[in-house]
Chains A and B, each alone.
Chain A
């Protein structure tokens, strides 16, 4: 391990603190001491330690109670308890409460070295495990971004160029296009990839819950806040925070968010201590943020702070050449997960998929393929295995006009903007179709 491990010594006896301090300093550790449990907890609020060596018998709060509180506050720290009055009960209780080990004072120098070596090994293994897990996830994330179309190549190129920077990114695109996958790909290719990518679904939380979720809270900050809790910004230290559905946050949250983005500092709900965190922000939305700014629904200053780089993911209907690749990828993915050999897809079924508008985009295609593999005969995917005949309502469409517009556009695209064929399919005359095109401002894609 290359980094210097840190040790916090908690003991009410000065001579014990001094002895351990000198011992560990000579071993090259970063060492701090606390004379009681309250002081230790106060130090731990602002600093992290790899190993905490704590006495059980102390005036005021004893070591066992402190251990419980440390476990609530800093679960990643390894706690070793020391006692001059070793009883099986206290030792068992300490281990049950999450202590890594316990030692009886005074101990042999070799026992102490052995104990710290074991704890160090545990720390190294935990960190390696975390790093490897993230590496595996990051590789999967890249593989999930499928597409050979010009539009997808552009997205991949943008991911590559933006990943190395520290700039804020806004990812836009319809629901189901893979905005979170793009966020993961950016994070996985960035220098922050060995640190966490923390996702927050802003749309799923009320304002107060979102505040507590993002900034964390102190014990007793509100009813039900039984423990101190780290916020997502704190968890994303050195990593990336992904704010999905950013357009849904309230005006107050927009102000709070702007301040955090500018200072990289925040205060937990109910707390009074400023916490710093070094994170990168990636946001996603299926709304037109710029339009929301013009309507006064989204703060302009926040918009410009977030929208340093914008990545637009085109809807699937605008990159139909990617559909065969995606279909093949999903077939392999689900057949592998179900321990089956990959099944072929009928050309007629594939053709129908290419003609389909996919209002739910790639997510909808993925679900269709998964369903086809589950309910199909297991030998090949045919047209009847695909739920294309039923009406799939796009959740983002609310009015009849929107529905009509989407349908006309779909038919026009299907017939390559041949007005006569499209009008025939829609069972309207050409003049009516021209009027509708004009009314909805429809244009063929370039």
Chain B
């Protein structure tokens, strides 16, 4: 399985080692070349003062319009609290079978849930979220396998329970979908 190149664009401050770890995990899981670059956006335009969150739908469209390359899958990485109009929050989202997704690490720190801080959790959760959204861009839908990275996760506990890997069924599916 050799998939399209992937670009991770950071919007906001991310440690270099953190980004490299994410890129490495994505590379090993999706067998693609992964590039990292910095992006610049005036996030205040996407801020909803009533909800005090950032509009995920509009950010996704913006990232998609800025990364106009048909041959590359792009994931925008954020540090802000994302929402979509119907939901109180999201960890990330992507265009199914499209070329763009977004993910935020805002809700991945233990402190938000009254647990002792541990940066390893943030990294692990964010890896899974980025691979999950990339899976959607390659055409994968949510998987019922409890350990598959494509399992739907609405809480961080759900993310912790699943692995950072595709199950064999999703792996076969992604090969089939992208062989054509």
Contact = CB atoms under 8 A, between A and B. Distances in A.
B87 to A, nearest CB: 5
B71 interface: no
Contacts of A20: 86
Nearest to B60: A22
Interface stretch (A11-19, A288-296, A362-370, A401-409): A11-19
Contacts of B99: none
Contacts of B83: 106
B79 interface: no
B154 A19 contact: no
A19 B96 contact: no
B85 A27 contact: no
A27 B141 contact: yes
Contacts of B152: 26-27, 113
A109 interface: yes
Contacts of B163: none
A16 B55 CA distance: 12
A19 B152 CA distance: 16
Q: Is the interface of A mostly helix, strand, loop or mixed?
A: helix
B112 to A, nearest CB: 15
Given A18-B57, A108-B154, A23 B136 contact: no
B154 A107 contact: no
Interface in A74-113: 82, 105-110, 112-113
A26 B142 contact: yes
A28 B141 contact: yes
A426 interface: no
B88 A15 contact: no
A108 B83 CA distance: 10
B96 A26 contact: yes
B144 to A, nearest CB: 9
Interface in A55-83: 82
Contacts of B141: 25-28
Contact of A22 (B88, B93, B142, B154): B93
Contacts of A26: 93-94, 96, 136, 141-142, 152
B106 interface: no
B86 A107 contact: yes
B87 A23 contact: yes
A107 B88 contact: yes
Given A22-B96, A28-B142, A106 B86 contact: yes
Interface string A1-37: 0000000000001011011101101111000000000
A25 B154 contact: no
Interface string A215-243: 00000000000000000000000000000
Interface in B29-58: 51, 57
Interface string B82-102: 011111111001111000000
B28 interface: no
B85 A15 contact: yes
Contacts of B96: 22, 25-26
Nearest to B51: A106
Interface string B60-93: 0000000000000000000000011111111001
A106 B88 CA distance: 6
B117 to A, nearest CB: 24
B113 to A, nearest CB: 14
B155 interface: yes
Given A19-B85, A108-B89, A108-B154, 4 more contacts: A13-B85, A19-B57, A26-B94, A109-B154
Closest 4 CB pairs of A and B: A19-B84, A110-B154, A28-B141, A109-B154
Interface of A: 13, 15-16, 18-20, 22-23, 25-28, 82, 105-110, 112-113
21 contacts: A13-B85, A15-B84, A15-B85, A16-B85, A20-B86, A22-B95, A23-B84, A23-B87, A25-B141, A26-B93, A26-B152, A28-B141, A106-B85, A106-B87, A106-B88, A107-B86, A109-B88, A109-B154, A110-B154, A110-B155, A112-B86
